[in-house]
Amino acid sequence: MNKRYEDLEELMSTGEAREVKRAMAVRMSLLGFVRAEAALACCVSVQFVDKWKAIYLASGVEGLKLAYKGSPGYLKPREREDVINWIQEKKTITIEELKRYLKEEYDVFYSSNTSYTKLLEEANLSYKKTHKENSAKDEVKVEAKKKEIKDLIDKEREQIESGEVMYWMQDESHQLWGDICGYVWSKKGERTSIKMSNYRTSQTWYGAVNIYTGEFILDRAKKADTKYTIDFINWLIYRYKEARHVIIWDGASYHRSEGLRTYLEKLNGGLPESEWKVRLLRFAPNAPEQNPVEDIWLQGKNWVRKNFHRLSSFKEVTSMFETFLSGKVFKFNKIKQYLIPNIYLDIRT
């Protein structure tokens, strides 16, 4: 056997894992395997095979060893381009994963994480918080429900424009005193505290946004249940006596209780569905992000957090929350997606 191949065989049997991978890739390439075949067999890239083959031909088997000092400690322009392309193929990546890849594929290790973050930024990645998503969510049902709502809106667009029918997206929120705690710039080494007698003190809110006008209304409640749900609907009817209402909400138990069904039967008085005073629709299950009111609650809570220094009691917390949201108009994409293009011209970004 060729002496060079014997050197590679020896390194493959005695070397460390990374040395073995390098030797194996070079040996397969020298035996006549196509670069892609060698890369696939060794679970490396084609660039990896080319690099270590070149080093081996220039420096022998010593060049494949981890202690070898002849290889550069930085990425060449073409290598940097290949690394960025590799990063872009991934949906998510950690700095540790990038470190391992650069070390194994290019024998490059940076002393500062800044060099790694620059590569990630060049690949158009950003550092962000992960978000939870219900594994039971069914995208097919979500899209089907969106279409159902859009079709209903299109069918009644003249009544909606005239104010005869109002479409509302509704939700409840439970505001805790402790929710005002957030991030703030303060002196290093000093703890920033907010005085409160009971951080679990809470206020329940019922809110709804008119998907045509963007108007948001809200009301206080002691808790979220059938009784207070009916109270909110009655309050909505009282505010807009002349209109018929369509309320779109989630599948909470008190949104489908026997008491609520009895109330609606009495309210609608045996009329045909097209003349009901109140109609109820549900979003697709396990996908709360469908409801724009979720985002409205977040805006209100973030506003309170930003102004925590002005608040000394929970009464002031709820008052600020209510003042910020009451009567405000919200016209963002989660609402506009249900509207038919070129018909609702008053809906703007």
> pLDDT averaged over the chain?
83
Chain position carrying tokens 């910020």 = 324
Residue 86 to residue 163: CA distance in whole angstroms:
55
pLDDT of residue 131: 62
Among 49, 47, 77, smallest CA distance to 64 is for 49
Reported pTM: 0.59
pLDDT of residue 343: 45
Confidence of residue 207 (pLDDT cuts 50, 70, 90): very high
128-163 pLDDT tens trace: 666 656 666 788 888 888 889 889 988 998 999 899
SS3 of 193-259: CCCCCCCCCEEEEEEEEECCCCEEEEEEECCCCHHHHHHHHHHHHHHCCCCEEEEEECCCHHHCCHH
Chain position carrying tokens 């890239």 = 45
73-92 pLDDT tens trace: 578 888 888 899 999 888 88
Among 25, 40, 123, 24, smallest CA distance to 82 is for 123
Contact in structure between 49 and 38 (CB atoms under 8 Å): yes
Given phi > 0 = left and psi -120 to 50 = alpha, else beta, which region is 259? alpha
Q: 180 pLDDT exceeds 60? A: yes
pLDDT of residue 194: 61
Contact in structure between 48 and 72 (CB atoms under 8 Å): no
Chain position carrying tokens 């460390």 = 16
Residue 215 burial (10 A CB sphere; 0-12, 13-18, 19+): middle
Residue 255 to residue 233: CA distance in whole angstroms:
11
Contact in structure between 325 and 207 (CB atoms under 8 Å): yes
Residue 177 to residue 313: CA distance in whole angstroms:
9
Q: 338 pLDDT exceeds 90? A: no
Sort strands 278-282 and 244-249 into parallel, antiparallel or unpaired.
parallel
Per mean pLDDT, which range of 12-16, 43-47, 223-227, 295-299 is the poorest? 12-16
Taking residues 228-246, report their average pLDDT. Answer: 95
